[in-house]
């Protein structure tokens, strides 16, 4: 449920900001008012929300009967529409009628989460888990890096603010290699780096529930998807942060590769390789047997 609350908060911020600000102050959108806000939220429900819905539905399906598993499968199929080429285009972030498809998958995931209730959904990650300290460290770094995007979602910059206005450039006009003209270092509105943070936090939160999964096949597929989500989200964060806080300062002309869309490239080769390592060394080792062994070791050492 924490994942959906987080996404709902960001969606509310997006709706308010895109309703309030003119399109010229935002990124690759048109229109104004309530229609513009609703349009951008619908795109948000595709990317990144539909990507979040897939592992949530996998975890929910593990504890449901045939009817519930079938509904989860339908939700996954609908959410997977986000992978269709052109469904979400960073060069044109106005909503399309087809965006309703993946949004329906998200709606199914949210409804099933609520219907399952706390403790019965398979999403419960209460208690200590292997790797929690690392999870916290990764999350803290991600949040610190993403502070300018959090402000941008609300339609604000750090200009004139003590400390934050010095650490981050946001409202300053800056040049970017291969992009004509001057632009604000951090545009108002939603950023793909913020999408990356949401995916990263989702992967960290849901990976804590992997040891609750009863079916080995479901656990393996979910762990693999979450490992990819963690690394992909990190790539989105790094690309956006590097462009705005390093490249636009003129410190270098080298750009971190854009990995938003899967391609045959060095950037995606690195993502796949690191994802495999995360799976083998971390997420893929989450399971009832490992959890039980860890508990035995803690008891033997007198740890809680």
Question: What percentage of the chain reaches a pLDDT higher than 90?
Answer: 84
Say yes or no: 172 and 55 in one domain.
no
Say yes or no: 116 and 166 in one domain.
no
Q: CB under 8 Å to 233, separation ≥6 — which residues?
A: 195, 196, 197, 198, 199, 200, 202, 203
Q: Residue 40 and residue 109: Cα distance in Å, rounded? A: 20
Say yes or no: 110 and 141 in one domain.
no
Q: Which candidate, 53, 64, 47, 58, places its Cα nearest to that of 10?
A: 47
158 neighbors 234 (Cβ within 8 angstroms) = no
Say yes or no: 94 and 143 in one domain.
no
pLDDT digits (tens, 9 = 90+) for 83-126: 999 999 999 999 999 999 999 999 999 999 999 876 555 566 66
SS3 of residue 121 by DSSP: coil
Domain boundary (99, 124, 149) is at 124
pLDDT digits (tens, 9 = 90+) for 287-299: 764 544 444 444 4
pLDDT digits (tens, 9 = 90+) for 121-154: 556 666 788 899 999 999 999 999 999 999 999 9
Q: What is the pLDDT of residue 169?
A: 97
Q: What is the pLDDT of residue 254?
A: 94
Task: State yes or no: cis peptide before 48, omega within 30 of 0.
Answer: yes
Residue 250's domain spans which residues?
Answer: 127-304
Say yes or no: 189 and 178 in one domain.
yes
Domain boundary (107, 124, 141) is at 124
Domain boundary (124, 140, 170) is at 124
Say yes or no: 120 and 164 in one domain.
no
Residues of the chain with pLDDT under 70: 118-126, 288-304
Say yes or no: 114 and 164 in one domain.
no
CA distances from 37 to 5, 31, 58, 106, 302 (A): 19, 9, 30, 18, 54
Say yes or no: 110 and 259 in one domain.
no
């Amino acid at each position: 449920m924490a994942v959906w609350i987080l996404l709902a908060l960001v969606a509310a911020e997006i709706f308010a900001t895109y309703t309030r600000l003119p399109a010229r102050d935002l990124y690759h959108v048109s229109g104004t008012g309530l229609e513009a806000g609703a349009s951008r939220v619908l795109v948000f429900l595709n990317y990144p929300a539909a990507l979040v819905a897939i592992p949530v539905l996998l975890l929910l399906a593990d504890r449901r009967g045939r009817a519930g598993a079938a509904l989860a499968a339908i939700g996954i199929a609908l959410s997977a529409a986000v992978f269709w080429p052109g469904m979400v285009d960073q060069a044109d972030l106005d909503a399309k009628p087809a965006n309703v498809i993946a949004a329906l998958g998200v709606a199914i995931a949210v409804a099933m989460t609520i219907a399952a209730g706390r403790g019965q959904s398979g999403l419960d990650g209460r208690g200590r888990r292997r790797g929690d300290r690392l999870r916290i460290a990764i999350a803290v770094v991600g949040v610190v890096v993403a502070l300018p995007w959090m402000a941008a979602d609300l339609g604000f910059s750090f200009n004139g603010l003590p400390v934050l206005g010095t650490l981050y450039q946001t409202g300053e006009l800056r040049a970017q290699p291969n992009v004509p003209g001057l632009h604000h270092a951090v545009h108002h509105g939603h950023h793909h780096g913020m999408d990356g943070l949401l995916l990263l936090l989702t992967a960290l939160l849901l990976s804590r529930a992997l040891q609750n999964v009863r079916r080995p096949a479901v656990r393996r597929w979910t762990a693999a998807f979450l490992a990819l989500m963690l690394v992909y989200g990190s790539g989105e964060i790094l690309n956006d942060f590097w462009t705005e806080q390093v490249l636009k300062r003129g410190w270098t002309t080298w750009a971190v590769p854009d990995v938003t869309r899967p391609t045959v490239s060095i950037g995606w080769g690195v993502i796949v390789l690191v994802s495999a390592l995360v799976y083998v060394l971390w997420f893929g080792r989450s399971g009832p047997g490992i959890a039980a062994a860890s508990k035995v070791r803690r008891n033997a050492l007198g740890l809680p």
